Structure 1
Amino acid sequence: MPTLHGQAHVRRLRLLLSLSLVGVVFTSVVVLIGAWTRLVDAGLGCPDWPGCYGELVVPDVERALLHSPDAPLEAFKAWVEMIHRYLASTLGLLVIGLLLLGVRLRHSPGYPWKTSVALLGVILLQGAFGAFTVTLKLWPQVVTLHLLGGLSVLVLFLWLHLGLRRFAKGAQAAAAKRRLTPLWIAAVALLVLQLALGGWVSSNYAGIACQGFPTCNGQWWPAMDWSEGFHLTQTVGPNYLHGQLHADARTAIHQGHRIGALLLGLALLMLTLRYWREARMRPWLGGLLIAYGVQLGLGIANVLMWLPLWLALLHTAGALSLVLLLALAVWHWREPVTEVEDSTRREKEWVHV
């Protein structure tokens, strides 16, 4: 019969598993709400941070005018922005809760304590990016980093949950994990690059800079200003709501995103062809190709339909699915093959011979 200490350990571990999984789902929701906030132009719905016109809730028009006479209150946009902040703050509390719950287990072999600490560090950095997004008036560099930060939180929550599952099964972190091959590294790097390009497209309002597909504005290679479109030292100070770049610069950004999508697709296809023989990798590799195909279709539809709100949100959800699936694929690739799996594999190879 388990001791009281053992029962408490099991309950704590179950709670950690549940909360880490909640974190994966909740982070996805926060990222989507953040995308919605940006798409309805509510990123500056509150001109200050962390409050809204100096209040913890959206004030009335009179108080707002007294606080910021040059920033008239738009109640809907202010509430959208504050809801996003409330949810992001709740996510931060969840991270702190997970860290505190895991303190007693941090010295246990195999417990993913470093992942918990990394998650806290990234969520704090993400909060700073949230503040800079407002105070620097939607500076594209910060907006893009804010998106990448949110996706990093998502991956760390998933990594923490997977590590906790392994720990709950009594398996220690294996020292003999497989190292990522250049093909895996290329796929991960291209996905990160494509996500950054997507954030750059959104923050510079270049989503419909190209009309039509597969051509852009009726041309295969239209007039583009690459140096201005990817000038990463843009001036800090102007209000970047609706963007500051001219048409040719936005066209270059859009085309860059299309080229990135093509390169990512080739990398995922090569990855699948290379490792399809490993049965345990097929669900993740197949899922990646399907998710990529859906995401590609959503991107094309957004261009042809002039970026409707619901479709743009689906495109963001597609990016989340690619991140999760590639993270899961990397996790399962690095995990060592168990003796049972290795024996089964050898038997199949012998039959084929």
Structure 2
Amino acid sequence: MKKQQWLATIAIFLTMGVILLGAYTRLTDAGLGCPDWPGCYGFLKVPHQEHHIAAAQQAFPDRPLVHHKAWNEMVHRYFAGSLGLLIAAIFFSSMFSRQSPKAVPTVLLLLVVFQAALGMWTVTLNLLPLVVMGHLLGGFTLLSLLAVYWLKLHPDYKVQEPQLVSLKPFAVLALIVLVSQIALGGWTAANYAALACIELPVCEQGWLERLNFSDAFDLHLGHDDYEYGVMSAEARQTVHVLHRFGALVTLVILASFLLQLWRRAKAPLMRKLTLAAVTLLFVQFSLGVMNVALHLPLLNAVAHNFVAANLLMLMVVIYMQLRHSSRFSAEETL
């Protein structure tokens, strides 16, 4: 079991690194830094020699080589590839271990293969927003599932608090709201709508008259290139405004749930998880406000993405703890 525990721990931190690099790549407009996949302009690394650069320019005349963008993209791919190999190791290791859970490693392997496909389609479909958003959600899901797997490998970290069982439906609601908000954030980023409104608390004057819901959620299929977005300004404002209102709803729902959890939880671990989730929730909300007030500074925007991933992971872990408490309560009743 110790081997699986170490592999799961390393995979969690590596996934966090991949999420950070993915956000940095997207926010530096380097998603097409290499216009092909899995290599870069036909090479395994970014070309630097003059004859290699000349060959790259000839092969992709519409995509001039920009070295820093290409390196951003390739470093992300190297880390993502390493994570894929690590998850494959987790899968095969679990298959040969009698004690290790089998279901979660299988799902992890299937998910990381699908993530690789999404990574490829992100490039080959020239940043199609639906694919970009799906790639982000896949990365967040991968991190959460790895946390679930880690928890299954460490039974000593499972709490048994029957008094928390009644909060399980509230936890499901909180998770649905959080995932919806993350998806809306991904849609905002994928359509380059993060700066569609640069005033607080909502948007520039007259924003209500400019709302365009049909265009805001149109998939916009059939374009040759989605870099820098194809939505109208009105549609981008609509997506942005909805993400802002979604942030308020998420703050209220999650804060209410976590407050109830804090009041009822007795186990030190559960209280620590609750406190950590509350901290991340308010940090995330503050980072969102700062994104607008400071006009999307790079490090702040990357942090906004990273904190969202960790908040989702924590909420999933809390939900799993409630499920475990529910099972413990049922067994106790029997």
TM-score by length of 2: 0.89
Match of 1:150 among 124, 129, 139: 139
1:186 aligns with 2:178: no
Structure-2 separation of matches of 1:14 and 1:247? 53
> What runs of 5+ residues in structure 1 fail to find an aligned partner?
1-12, 172-176, 344-353
Deviation at 1:337, TM superposition (A): 7.5
1:245 aligns with 2:231: yes
Any conservation in 1 of the 2:199–2:292 contact (CA below 8 Å)? yes
Deviation at 1:191, TM superposition (A): 0.8
The equivalent of 2:203 in structure 1 is 216
Q: Which has the higher contact order (CA 8 A, sep 6+)?
A: 2
Structure-2 separation of matches of 1:217 and 1:271? 33
The equivalent of 1:71 in structure 2 is 63
Deviation at 1:180, TM superposition (A): 7.3
Q: Structure 1 170/147 Cα, relative in aligned 2: closer, same or farther at 3 Å? A: closer
Deviation at 1:290, TM superposition (A): 2.1
Match of 1:48 among 36, 40, 43: 36
Give CA deviations for 1:278-303 in whole Å, capped at 9, x if unaligned.
22333323322221111111101110
Structure-2 separation of matches of 1:338 and 1:285? 20
The equivalent of 1:6 in structure 2 is none
Match of 1:38 among 8, 26, 38: 26
Deviation at 1:231, TM superposition (A): 1.1
Give CA deviations for 1:163-204 in whole Å, capped at 9, x if unaligned.
1112xx699xxxxx9697332111111111111111111111
Any conservation in 1 of the 2:115–2:139 contact (CA below 8 Å)? yes
Task: Give aligned-pair identity as a percent.
Answer: 38
Which amino acid letter does the alignment assign opposite residue 144 of structure 1? M
Any conservation in 2 of the 1:136–1:236 contact (CA below 8 Å)? no
Which amino acid letter does the alignment assign opposite residue 299 of structure 1? G
1:62 aligns with 2:51: no
Any conservation in 2 of the 1:229–1:249 contact (CA below 8 Å)? yes
Which amino acid letter does the alignment assign opposite residue 161 of structure 1? W
Deviation at 1:145, TM superposition (A): 0.2
1:124 aligns with 2:100: no
Give CA deviations for 1:149-168 in whole Å, capped at 9, x if unaligned.
001110111111111112xx
Any conservation in 2 of the 1:212–1:218 contact (CA below 8 Å)? no
Match of 1:277 among 218, 241, 264: 264
Give CA deviations for 1:242-278 in whole Å, capped at 9, x if unaligned.
1111111000000111121111112112212433212
Deviation at 1:329, TM superposition (A): 1.1
The equivalent of 1:236 in structure 2 is 222
Identify the range of structure 1 (197-206 vs 269-278) with the bigger mean alpha-carbon deviation: 269-278
| Mapping of residues 152-171 of structure 1, within 5 Å | 152-166=141-155
Structure-2 separation of matches of 1:90 and 1:318? 22
Which amino acid letter does the alignment assign opposite residue 91 of structure 2? L
Any conservation in 2 of the 1:139–1:236 contact (CA below 8 Å)? no
Any conservation in 2 of the 1:43–1:138 contact (CA below 8 Å)? yes
| Mapping of residues 76-91 of structure 1, within 5 Å | 76-91=68-83
Structure-2 separation of matches of 1:92 and 1:327? 22
> What runs of 5+ residues in structure 2 fail to find an aligned partner?
159-163
1:334 aligns with 2:328: no
**How many equivalent pairs are there?**
317
Structure-1 separation of matches of 2:43 and 2:245? 44
The equivalent of 2:161 in structure 1 is none
TM-score by length of 1: 0.84
The equivalent of 2:250 in structure 1 is 264
SS of residue paired to 1:124: helix
The equivalent of 2:86 in structure 1 is 94
Q: Structure 1 100/201 Cα, relative in aligned 2: closer, same or farther at 3 Å? A: same
Q: Structure 1 179/94 Cα, relative in aligned 2: closer, same or farther at 3 Å? A: farther
The equivalent of 2:193 in structure 1 is 206
Where in structure 1 do 4 or more consecutive aligned residues deviate above 6 Å? Answer: none
SS of residue paired to 1:329: helix
The equivalent of 1:174 in structure 2 is none
Give CA deviations for 1:8-66 in whole Å, capped at 9, x if unaligned.
xxxxx222111101111110110110011011111001111111111111123212023
Which amino acid letter does the alignment assign opposite residue 39 of structure 1? L
The equivalent of 1:348 in structure 2 is none
1:18 aligns with 2:6: yes
Any conservation in 1 of the 2:144–2:312 contact (CA below 8 Å)? yes
RMSD: 2.3
Larger radius of gyration: 1
The equivalent of 1:29 in structure 2 is 17
Any conservation in 2 of the 1:102–1:113 contact (CA below 8 Å)? yes
